[in-house]
Amino acid sequence: MGMDEAMNEVIRNSTIIGIVISLLAFDIGSALRVKTGLAVLNPLLISIILVIGFMVAFNIDYGSYIRSARYLSYLLTPATVALAVPLYQQLQLLKDNLLAVVLGVLAGVLTSLGSILVLCTIFHMNHVEYITLLPKSITTAIGMSVVEELGGYTTITVASIIVTGILGNVLADPICHLFAIHSPIAKGLALGTSAHAIGTSKAMQIGEIEGAMAGLAIVVSGIMTVVGASIFATFR
C-alpha cells in the first residue's frame, strides 16, 4: 500500500483526523498572522491553502476528509447563536441607533446586489452565473438556501462567500483608515453586512460594540438579501 492509499485509509477510519488537520492548519495561520502582523496572512486563508495543499500532496479524497471533519461544522450553529450575547449587552445602544442600523444594513445589501448586477452585465455573464453570485455577502447556510431556490450553482456560491469574507476581514482596517471611519457602530455594521461571519470575527477583535453590531448585521442583512436576491434575480 502506497503512502497516498495509507493516508486515505487513516482518514476514512478516523472520526477526528480531519478536525485535527483543520485546527492545526488554522493555528499555523494564526501564528503567522501574529508573527508577521500582515493582514493578508488571514488565518482562514492560510488554513484553506494548507488543507488543500495537504489533500493534493497525499491525493486525499474530499469525501473522506469532510466525513472526518464533519463534527467541526456542528459548532457553527452554537457559535452563531453566541453572537447574541454581545448584542444583548449592547441592546440599549441598538435601540438608540435603530434607524441608522436599519438604513446602514439596507444600504450595504443594495450595494452588494447592485454591484453584482452591474458587473455581471459588464462581463456578459449568463443568468445562472448571475444569481449564483447574488448572495455572496451573507452567511453560507442562508446563501446556499437562496441559490438552491433560485437555481444557481451552490458550490460556486460557497466559494464566493468565503472569498468575500476573507477580503472583508483583510481589507477592513485599511478601508476604515482610508475613509476615516471611526464609529464603532459603523465599523461593525459594515463588517457584518459585507463580510458575514468572517467579518464579524474581525469586528469582535476590534471591539465589543463592533462585534455586537456585526452580529446584528448578519441577521438583518441575511433577511434583506433573501428578499432582495429574489427581486434582483428578475432583472437579468
Q: What is the pLDDT of residues 156-191, one digit of tens each?
A: 998 899 889 888 888 888 899 899 999 999 999 999
Distance CA 109, CA 116 (A): 11
Task: For residue 140, tell me if it sits in a domain.
Answer: yes
61 torsion bin: left (phi>0), alpha (psi -120 to 50), beta (else): beta
The pLDDT score that the predictor gives to residue 3 is 65
Stretch 148-159: mean pLDDT, rounded? Answer: 90
Are 218 and 184 found together in one domain? yes
Are 182 and 88 found together in one domain? yes
Task: For residue 41, tell me if it sits in a domain.
Answer: yes
Q: How confident is the model at residue 117 (pLDDT cuts 50, 70, 90)?
A: very high
Task: For residue 79, tell me if it sits in a domain.
Answer: no
Distance CA 39, CA 211 (A): 19
The pLDDT score that the predictor gives to residue 8 is 64
Task: For residue 174, tell me if it sits in a domain.
Answer: yes
Are 48 and 67 found together in one domain? yes
**Of 74, 100, 120, which residue sits at a domain end?**
74
Are 192 and 221 found together in one domain? yes
- Residues 6 or more apart in contact with residue 158 via CB below 8 angstroms: 140, 143, 144
17-42 exposure pattern, b = at least 16 Cβ within 10 A, e = fewer: bbbebbeebbeebbeebeeeeeeebb
Q: How confident is the model at residue 147 (pLDDT cuts 50, 70, 90)?
A: very high
Are 45 and 152 found together in one domain? no
Are 40 and 149 found together in one domain? no
**Of 43, 74, 105, which residue sits at a domain end?**
74
Question: Does residue 7 surpass a pLDDT of 70?
Answer: no
**Which domain does 222 fall in, by range?**
84-232
Distance CA 197, CA 203 (A): 10
Q: Which of 201, 126, 198 is nearest to 156 (CA)?
A: 126
Q: In angstroms, what CA-CA distances link 90 with 62, 74, 86, 184, 209?
A: 42, 27, 6, 12, 7
Task: For residue 21, tell me if it sits in a domain.
Answer: yes
Stretch 105-116: mean pLDDT, rounded? Answer: 95
11 versus 159: the higher-pLDDT residue is 159
Are 221 and 109 found together in one domain? yes
Stretch 149-162: mean pLDDT, rounded? Answer: 90
211 versus 4: the higher-pLDDT residue is 211
222: phi then psi, degrees, rounded to nearest 5: -60, -45
Are 67 and 162 found together in one domain? no
Domains identified in the chain, total number: 2
**Of 27, 56, 74, which residue sits at a domain end?**
74
Are 89 and 127 found together in one domain? yes
Amino acid identity at 150: L
> Which percentage of the chain shows pLDDT scores above 90?
37
- Angle at which helix 208-232 crosses helix 98-122, to 10 degrees, equals 50
Question: Does residue 1 surpass a pLDDT of 60?
Answer: no
Are 92 and 200 found together in one domain? yes
204 versus 87: the higher-pLDDT residue is 204
Long-range Cβ pairs for the range 4-10 (8 Å, 24+): 4/58, 4/59, 4/60, 7/58, 7/59, 7/60, 8/58, 8/59, 8/60, 8/61, 8/64
Distance CA 228, CA 232 (A): 6
Are 54 and 107 found together in one domain? no
Task: For residue 171, tell me if it sits in a domain.
Answer: yes
Residue carrying the nine cell digits 499555523: 28
Q: pTM for the full model?
A: 0.79
